Amino acid sequence: MTFDYETLRFIWWAFLGALLIGFAITGGADLGVGALLPFLGKNDVERRVIINSVGPTWEGNQVWFVTAGGALFAAWPMAYAVAFSGFYLALFLTLSALWLRPIGFDYRSKLANPTWRNSWDWALFVGGFVPSLIFGVAFGNLLLGVPFQLDDDMRIFYQGSFWQLLTPFALLAGVVSLSMLLTHGAVFLQMKSVADINERSKKAVTFFVVLTLVAFAFGGVWIANMDGYHVASEVLHDGPSNPLLKFVHKENGLWLNNFRTYPILWSIPGLAFVAGFATLALSKVNRPGLAFISSSLTMTAIILTAGVAMFPFLIPSSLSLNSSLTVWDASSSLTTLKIMFWVTLIFLPIVIVYTSWVFRVLRGKITVEHIVANDHTAY
């Protein structure tokens, strides 16, 4: 089985989306639980219950995030370079926050001192809250356009700052990301807990589902009335990876072009609302397992909505429109994409099967009695 350059470029765009969705579903639950830790756990034992709900799985879930970064580097090296140049400080803060998580999980219960444990609880909160927010802020800036340009030698010049990333729309996108991951974390915690923690998780699900859907709807209205990007020249789907060979047009409402061209795509944001309300209903009737599935569908639909709106753009440029990076002109070579395709075809199913198996084996609930009985092995 062989694929041409155009097909492989599209496949790798789909693979990148699948990896981001995989991380949102698996690692997103960990981030959400961490961000909720100081608020849903009212004492030390309850917080240990919450930590133990994700303790055995969070490390494996990072595979999706690491793989997504590796895929971006290998399949879209120019996009990787622009992202890590323009969002350097934001990514540094994200990685610093994520760095707090393994330390917090490993060292929190080493000492019985309340101040020690409370400090690590807030460190785990930062490790969940900051990445969840920044991921959305980054997506918001992609939709707004990133202030970079390419010269004739393909050198990248970024002319923005960290504070310029924190625009109202980008912060709204951050709220969407944060609230949907908090929803997912609360659903996961409801699925893994009983008694008081279970009830608090249920209330958190109700609040954050509503916040997610309201923010998502508001963001959709905003996008419909903001400038979008469109390739106005001939699109060379199998052409060389040179972004400067095209002409890009910017105009109000262009991010909805794909939805107007293919009306069936409106079902994607529609699924976000249907699955969101289903999550709310299933949580209220104590069906957290099904609520976890519907929450996963909500996040999948939200991420796909952003991806479909931007397609074929990867990183639009607000400084030099023609420097914008697209699926068709910023990829690695045909040979590289082919080799990576077969490697992914072998290893991605292994990761999916392994992740599914782990979640199934560890599907039981964590109780206070479990923590007390296993004090030396629990987190």
pLDDT, position 378: 58
Domain positions in the chain are: 5-373
Lowest-confidence range among 20-24, 316-320, 364-368?
Answer: 364-368
Q: Centre a 10 Å sphere on the Cβ of residue 6 and count the other Cβ atoms it contains.
A: 16
| For range 343-364, the mean pLDDT | 80
pLDDT at 33 over 90: yes
Give the pLDDT confidence of 272-282 residue by residue, as tens digits.
Answer: 999 999 999 99
> Above pLDDT 90, what percent of the chain?
60
pLDDT of residue 273: 97
pTM for this structure? 0.91
Q: Per-residue pLDDT tens for 115-154?
A: 999 999 999 999 999 999 999 999 999 999 999 999 888 8
Q: Which residues contact 191 (CB under 8 A, 6 or more apart)?
A: 288, 289, 291, 292, 365
- The three-class DSSP label of residue 64 is helix
pLDDT at 55: 76
pLDDT at 230: 93
Comparing 37-41, 50-54, 294-298, 299-303, the range with the smallest average pLDDT is 50-54
The predicted pLDDT at position 153 comes to 86
Q: Is the pLDDT of residue 367 over 80?
A: no
- What mean pLDDT comes out for the span 203-207? 95
Structure tokens at 56: 């055995």
CA-based angle 92:96:99, to the nearest 5? 140
How far is 21 from 68, CA to CA, in rounded Å?
10
Q: Tell me: the pLDDT tens digits for 240-270?
A: 889 999 999 999 989 999 999 999 999 999 9
Residue 166 φ then ψ, to 5°: -95, 55
Q: With bands split at pLDDT 50, 70 and 90, how would you rate the model's confidence at 2? A: confident
Residue 338 pLDDT: 92
Burial 296-330 (b: 16+ CB within 10 A, else e): bbbbbbbbbbbbbbbbbbbbbbbbbbbbbbbbbbb
**3-class DSSP state for residue 229?**
strand
Instruction: Give the model's confidence band at 210: pLDDT under 50 very low, under 70 low, under 90 confident, else very high.
Output: very high
Q: Between 347 and 184, whose confidence is greater?
A: 184
Which residue type occupies 55? G
The DSSP secondary-structure symbol of 286 reads: T
For residue 102, the tally of other CB atoms under 10 A from its CB is 13
What is the identity of the amino acid at 372?
Answer: V
pLDDT at position 109, please? 83
Whether the predicted pLDDT of 350 surpasses 90: no
Mean pLDDT of the chain: 89
Per-residue pLDDT band for 227 (boundaries 50, 70, 90) equals: very high
